[in-house]
Structure 1
Amino acid sequence: MEQPLLGGASARRCCSLSTLKAWLPVLSWLPRYRLKWLQMDLLAGLTVGLTTVPQALAYAEVAELPVQFGLYSSFMGGFIYTLLGTSKDVTLGPTAIMSLLCASVVGGEPHRAALLSLLCGLIQAGMAILRLGFLLDFISYPVIKGFTCAAAVTIGFSQVKNILGIQGVPREFVWEVYYTFYKIPESRVGDVVLGLLCLLLLVMLTYMKSSLGSEDDSTSSRAARKLVWTVATMRNALVVSAASLVAFSWDAFGHHVFTLTGKTTQGLPPFQPPPTSDTTANGTVVSFGEIVKGFGGGLAVIPFMGLLESIAIAKAFASQNDYRINANQELLAIGVTNVMGSFVSAYPVTGSFGRTAVNSQTGVCTPAGGIVTSIIVLLSLAFLMPAFYYIPKASLAAVIICAVAPMVDYRVVAKMWRIHKLDLLPFCVTFLMSFWEVQYGIIGGVAVSGVLLLYSTARPQIKVSDQGLLVMELGSGLSFPATEYLSHVIHTQALQVSPPRSVVLDCHHVSVIDYTVVSELRDLLRQFKLREVQFIFSGVQPSVLEVLMSADLQDFRHADCVQTALQMESRTRE
Structure 2
Amino acid sequence: MQYGLYSSFMGCFVYCILGTAKDVTLGPTAIMSLLVSSYAFHEPVYAILLAFLSGCIQLAMGLLHLGFLLDFISCPVIKGFTSAASITISFNQVKNILGLHGIPRQFFLQVYETLRRIGETRAGDAVLGLACLAALAGLRAMKSHLPHAAHAEPLAARVSYLIVWTCTTARNALVVLFAGLVAYSFQVMGSQPFTLTGSIPRGLPTFRLPCFSMAAPNGTVPFRSMVEDMGAGLAVVPLMGLLETVAIAKAFASQNDYKIDPSQELLALGFANILGSFVSSYPITGSFGRTAVNAQSGVCTPAGGLVTGALVLLSLAYLTSLFYYIPKAALAAVIISAVVPMFDAGIFRTLWRVKRVLVSGILLLYSMARPPVQVLEGDVLLVQPGSSLHFPAIEHLRDIICSRALAASPPHSIILDCCHISSIDYTVVVGLAELLQELRKHGLSLAFCSLQEPVLQVLLTADLEGFQHFPSREEAERCGAVEPGVSGAAPSTSTDVSSLLPTGLIQ
TM-fit CA distance, 1:552: 7.8
Task: State which of 12, 22, 27 in structure 2 corresponds to 1:89.
Answer: 22
SS in 2 for 1:478: coil
1:260-271 equivalences under 5 Å are: 260-271=196-207
Task: State which of 345, 354, 377 in structure 1 corresponds to 2:292.
Answer: 354
Partner of 1:73: 7
Q: Answer yes or no: is the 8 Å Cα contact 1:128–1:329 preserved in 2.
A: yes
Q: 1:520 to 1:570 in 2, by over 3 A?
A: closer
CA–CA distance in structure 2, aligned partners of residues 100 and 187 of structure 1: 27
1:21-32 equivalences under 5 Å are: none
Matched, 1:188 2:100: no
Q: 1:425 to 1:121 in 2, by over 3 A?
A: farther
CA–CA distance in structure 1, aligned partners of residues 331 and 229 of structure 2: 30
What per-residue deviation string (whole Å, max 9, x for no partner) do you get for residues 289-309 of structure 1? Answer: 887677675553332232234
Partner of 1:486: 397
What per-residue deviation string (whole Å, max 9, x for no partner) do you get for residues 515-534 of structure 1? Answer: 42552453366478x36xx8
SS in 1 for 2:416: strand
CA–CA distance in structure 1, aligned partners of residues 136 and 85 of structure 2: 21
SS in 2 for 1:159: helix
Q: Answer yes or no: is the 8 Å Cα contact 1:117–1:348 preserved in 2.
A: yes
What per-residue deviation string (whole Å, max 9, x for no partner) do you get for residues 345-366 of structure 1? Answer: 333323454366469x5543xx
1:245 counterpart letter in structure 2 = L
CA–CA distance in structure 2, aligned partners of residues 301 and 424 of structure 1: 30
Task: State which of 256, 260, 265 in structure 2 corresponds to 1:330.
Answer: 265
Partner of 1:244: 180
Matched, 1:376 2:307: no
Task: Report the structure number with the largest CA radius of gyration.
Answer: 2
* Structure 1 residues not aligned, in runs of 5+: 1-65, 427-448
Task: State which of 109, 112, 137 in structure 2 corresponds to 1:178.
Answer: 112
Q: 1:172 to 1:323 in 2, by over 3 A?
A: closer
Q: Answer yes or no: is the 8 Å Cα contact 2:24–2:249 preserved in 1.
A: no
Partner of 2:451: 540
Q: Answer yes or no: is the 8 Å Cα contact 1:538–1:558 preserved in 2.
A: yes
What per-residue deviation string (whole Å, max 9, x for no partner) do you get for residues 119-170 of structure 1? Answer: 4223322333454445545666666555554444333222222111122223
What per-residue deviation string (whole Å, max 9, x for no partner) do you get for residues 96-119 of structure 1? Answer: xx3333135427958265444334
What per-residue deviation string (whole Å, max 9, x for no partner) do you get for residues 48-98 of structure 1? Answer: xxxxxxxxxxxxxxxxxx2x5444333212333355x15373644226xx3
CA–CA distance in structure 2, aligned partners of residues 391 and 503 of structure 1: 79
Partner of 2:190: 254
Q: 1:253 to 1:143 in 2, by over 3 A?
A: same
CA–CA distance in structure 2, aligned partners of residues 148 and 320 of structure 1: 11
TM-fit CA distance, 1:318: 7.5
What per-residue deviation string (whole Å, max 9, x for no partner) do you get for residues 464-497 of structure 1? Answer: 3558686544244335564333211222344335
Partner of 2:495: none
Q: Answer yes or no: is the 8 Å Cα contact 1:462–1:472 preserved in 2.
A: no
Q: Answer yes or no: is the 8 Å Cα contact 1:169–1:180 preserved in 2.
A: yes
Deviation larger for 383-392 or 224-233:
224-233
CA–CA distance in structure 2, aligned partners of residues 323 and 403 of structure 1: 20
1:294-443 equivalences under 5 Å are: 299-312=234-247, 327-352=262-287, 353-354=291-292, 357=295, 362-364=299-301, 370-418=305-353, 421=356
SS in 2 for 1:331: helix
CA–CA distance in structure 1, aligned partners of residues 84 and 242 of structure 2: 19
Q: Answer yes or no: is the 8 Å Cα contact 1:269–1:344 preserved in 2.
A: yes
CA–CA distance in structure 1, aligned partners of residues 284 and 125 of structure 2: 30
SS in 2 for 1:464: strand
Task: State which of 374, 377, 388 in structure 2 corresponds to 1:464.
Answer: 374
TM-fit CA distance, 1:391: 0.4
Partner of 1:234: 170
Aligned residue pair count: 468
Q: 1:125 to 1:570 in 2, by over 3 A?
A: closer
CA–CA distance in structure 1, aligned partners of residues 162 and 43 of structure 2: 40
2:243 counterpart letter in structure 1 = L
TM-fit CA distance, 1:250: 1.7
Partner of 1:99: 30
Q: Answer yes or no: is the 8 Å Cα contact 1:494–1:503 preserved in 2.
A: yes
Q: 1:248 to 1:106 in 2, by over 3 A?
A: same
TM-fit CA distance, 1:321: 9.3
Name the one with the larger helix percent: 1
Matched, 1:556 2:468: yes
1:519 counterpart letter in structure 2 = A
CA–CA distance in structure 2, aligned partners of residues 415 and 291 of structure 1: 48
What per-residue deviation string (whole Å, max 9, x for no partner) do you get for residues 401-454 of structure 1? Answer: 23333444444444444555465899xxxxxxxxxxxxxxxxxxxxxx9xx99x
Q: Answer yes or no: is the 8 Å Cα contact 1:464–1:470 preserved in 2.
A: no
TM-fit CA distance, 1:393: 0.7
CA–CA distance in structure 2, aligned partners of residues 479 and 298 of structure 1: 32
TM-fit CA distance, 1:231: 3.2
Q: 1:355 to 1:501 in 2, by over 3 A?
A: farther
What per-residue deviation string (whole Å, max 9, x for no partner) do you get for residues 275-327 of structure 1? Answer: 667899xx899957887677675553332232234345556778999987654
1:381 counterpart letter in structure 2 = L
CA–CA distance in structure 2, aligned partners of residues 124 and 82 of structure 1: 18
1:268 counterpart letter in structure 2 = L
Q: 1:558 to 1:517 in 2, by over 3 A?
A: farther
What per-residue deviation string (whole Å, max 9, x for no partner) do you get for residues 358-400 of structure 1? Answer: 69x5543xx5554344323322333322221110011111222
SS in 2 for 1:347: coil
TM-fit CA distance, 1:199: 1.7
CA–CA distance in structure 2, aligned partners of residues 216 and 520 of structure 1: 79
TM-fit CA distance, 1:535: 5.5
TM-fit CA distance, 1:211: 5.1
CA–CA distance in structure 2, aligned partners of residues 154 and 135 of structure 1: 27
TM-fit CA distance, 1:193: 0.5
CA–CA distance in structure 1, aligned partners of residues 229 and 25 of structure 2: 27
Aligned-residue CA RMSD (Å): 4.6
Q: Answer yes or no: is the 8 Å Cα contact 1:113–1:347 preserved in 2.
A: yes
Q: Answer yes or no: is the 8 Å Cα contact 1:128–1:328 preserved in 2.
A: yes
CA–CA distance in structure 2, aligned partners of residues 524 and 501 of structure 1: 14
1:488 counterpart letter in structure 2 = D
Partner of 2:388: 477
2:206 counterpart letter in structure 1 = P
Partner of 1:505: 416
CA–CA distance in structure 2, aligned partners of residues 500 and 326 of structure 1: 57
Q: 1:379 to 1:548 in 2, by over 3 A?
A: closer
Q: Answer yes or no: is the 8 Å Cα contact 1:152–1:404 preserved in 2.
A: yes
